[in-house]
Structure formats: structure tokens, C-alpha cells
């Protein structure tokens, strides 16, 4: 049910799998959360509107690269960030963003190299360890991923520990350790009670335990916290469909199609709606 790491990252707001922190955002890439700095990235920028001076400005190219990254335009993000780094090699934030761009393109070796450069120029850049863990997790190297996430948690002043707990929960679920998944989810919610995506994992654990009643209860809580979170609405609709609560499931599928028609969830929801109409 999760979209791939190349799926479009929506907006800079709280919806669409993003959780904002001060000067940073957490990007929901598939089932994981990565972190990219946003300082000075306000407002829309375009190459067409840029002056020649701006096009040669490493800070402008960094901001434009992050904007492209957030819009899912990976080739443009990589080109702009590389141009920024050619003029300002010691920008750890730009190296981090470049690593994320390579990750979103599934260029794992290049992603790890960029993240390594970010740590070279700023060894205290804790966000990068979270993002390295994300790469290892996507590669199926779960022990290495967990080691990186635990490095994040060793930073006692890190402002976003819920991201590491969430990613540890994702790894635990991939490994089939349901109890550990629930434990990490609880820790994430202790850090941020409105972290809606956690309820996706909790619901999935209960579905694996064949406890649809508890899964539905948790998906409902998540939807209450974040009414427009596509995956929560879709998973709740699916769980209701499985328990023959067809009318409420139909309403949720219609909502998913309105919110995100081009996503995998939107397309699947449309298929269920067509099945529902055929059976009516």
C-alpha cells in the first residue's frame, strides 16, 4: 500500500506526509521519513524568472534544488544542487539535499557518498544519520539502518526524535517484529502525539495479527489527527471493506480519489468504487 520512494512529495505543509519542524521538514518517502533543511527556501523560484546573477549564486541554486526536490523533479534538483556545490563545496545542507535527491532516484551509492560529504563538513549534522539509515533500509540492510537511527537518538537535543523512532518501527515491521514495531510507534507518539503516519504502522500491525477491529480503531484515530492523509483514508476504507462496512468504505474511497487521483491508492480506490457500483 505504500508508494515507492520516487513518489511525489506534496507541498510544504503538514499534510501529504510532511511534518514541519523549525527550519526543516520531514519528507515521507514511501514508508520512511527523511530530513532536509528549509532555511531561506520560502517562495516559489523558477529558472525562467532568475537573473544571471542568481543563476550563478550557490545559495539560489541550493534553494531552487530543494524546491525541485520537494516537487519530485529529481533531475532538476540534482543539477541545481550540484551547481551550488561546485561553487560552495562546504555546504553540508546542500550535500544532504543532494543525497536525498539521489535516494529518490534510487541511486544509493551516490546518495551515501553525498551524505558522507555532508558529515565531513558538519560532523554534528544529526539529520544526515537519519537519512543514511533510510538508504540502508531501502536496500534491505536493516542492521546498518538501525545503527544510523540509533545514532540519531544518541543526540539528546535532537528536535525530531520521532522521525528516528518511526523509521525504526518501519524496519521492525519489515523484519516481522510486530511487538518492536508497536513499541517504536508508542515512542514516536510520545514525542509527537499528532504524528498521524504512526497510525498507519499500528493499523498494519493489527491487520497482520488479523485484528481488523483494532486496525480500524487506529486508522480512525489517524484520520481524526490528519483528515487528508491519503494512506490512512485508503487503509481505513480497505479495512472497512473487508469487514463488509461497504457504505463507509465507499465514502472513504471517494475521498481518496478526490485527494490523490494519480497515486496508487487513488487508482485502487477507483477500482473498488467501480466494483461497488457494479454490485449495486
Please give, one letter per residue, the 3-state secondary structure of 117-183: HHHHHCCCCHHHHHHHHHHHHHCCCHHHHHHHHHHHHHCCCCCCHHHHHHHHHHHHHHCCCHHHHHH
Same fold, 1-160 and 196-280: yes
Q: Domain spans of the chain?
A: 1-160, 196-280
105 Cβ contact list (under 8 Å, min separation 6): 6, 74, 78
Distance of CA 26 to the CA centre of its chain: 6
197: its cell numbers: 503516519
Number of C-beta neighbours around residue 94 at 10 A: 29
CB atoms within 10 A of CB 240: 22
List % helix, strand, coil for the chain (3-state, nearest 5). Answer: 65, 5, 30
Packing angle, helices 108-121 and 126-138, rounded to 10: 170
- Fold held by 196-280: 1.25.40
Containing 66, the helix (H) or strand (E) segment is helix 58-71
CA 152, CA 126: separation in Å to the nearest integer? 6
- CA 24 to CA 162: how far, in whole Å? 14
pTM of this prediction? 0.81
In the 8-state DSSP scheme, what is residue 15?
S
- Over its length of 280 residues, how does the chain's per-residue pLDDT go in tens digits? 333 333 222 221 222 222 223 344 455 555 566 655 544 444 455 555 556 556 689 999 999 999 999 888 999 999 999 999 999 999 999 999 999 999 999 999 999 999 999 999 999 999 999 999 999 999 999 999 999 999 999 999 999 999 999 999 999 999 999 999 999 999 999 999 999 999 999 999 999 999 999 999 999 999 999 999 999 999 999 999 999 999 999 999 999 999 999 999 999 999 999 988 877 6
Axis crossing angle, helix 161-174 with helix 178-191, rounded to the nearest 10: 170
- For domain 1-160, is the CATH number 1.25.40.10? yes
Length of the chain: 280
Amino acid at each position: 500500500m505504500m508508494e515507492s520512494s520516487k513518489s511525489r512529495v506534496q507541498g510544504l505543509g503538514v499534510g501529504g506526509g510532511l511534518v514541519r519542524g523549525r527550519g526543516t521538514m520531514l519528507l515521507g518517502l514511501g514508508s520512511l521519513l527523511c530530513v532536509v533543511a528549509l532555511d531561506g527556501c520560502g517562495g516559489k523560484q523558477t529558472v525562467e524568472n532568475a537573473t544571471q546573477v542568481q543563476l550563478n549564486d550557490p545559495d539560489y541554486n541550493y534553494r531552487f534544488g530543494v524546491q525541485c526536490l520537494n516537487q519530485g523533479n529529481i533531475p532538476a534538483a540534482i543539477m541545481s544542487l550540484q551547481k551550488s556545490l561546485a561553487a560552495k563545496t562546504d555546504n553540508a545542507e546542500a550535500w544532504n539535499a543532494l543525497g536525498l535527491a539521489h535516494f529518490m532516484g534510487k541511486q544509493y551509492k551516490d546518495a551515501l557518498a553525498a551524505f558522507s560529504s555532508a558529515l565531513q563538513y558538519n560532523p554534528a549534522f544529526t539529520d544526515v544519520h537519519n537519512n543514511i539509515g533510510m538508504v540502508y533500509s531501502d536496500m534491505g540492510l536493516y542492521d546498518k539502518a538501525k545503527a544510523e537511527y540509533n545514532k540519531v537518538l544518541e543526540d539528546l537535543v535532537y528536535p525530531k526524535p520521532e522521525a528516528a523512532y518511526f523509521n525504526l518501527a518501519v524496519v521492525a515491521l519489515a523484519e516481522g517484529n510486530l511487538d518492536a514495531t508497536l513499541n517504536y510507534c508508542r515512542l514516536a507518539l510520545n514525542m509527537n502525539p499528532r504524528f498521524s503516519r504512526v497510525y498507519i504502522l499500528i493499523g498494519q500491525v493489527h491487520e497482520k495479527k488479523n485484528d481488523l477491529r483494532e486496525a480500524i480503531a487506529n486508522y480512525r484515530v489517524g484520520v481524526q489527527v490528519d483528515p487528508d492523509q491519503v494512506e490512512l483514508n485508503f487503509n481505513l476504507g480497505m479495512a472497512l471493506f473487508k469487514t463488509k462496512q461497504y457504505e463507509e468504505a465507499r465514502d472513504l474511497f471517494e475521498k481518496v480519489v478526490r485527494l490523490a487521483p494519480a497515486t496508487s491508492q487513488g487508482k485502487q480506490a477507483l477500482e473498488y468504487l467501480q466494483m461497488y457500483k457494479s454490485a449495486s
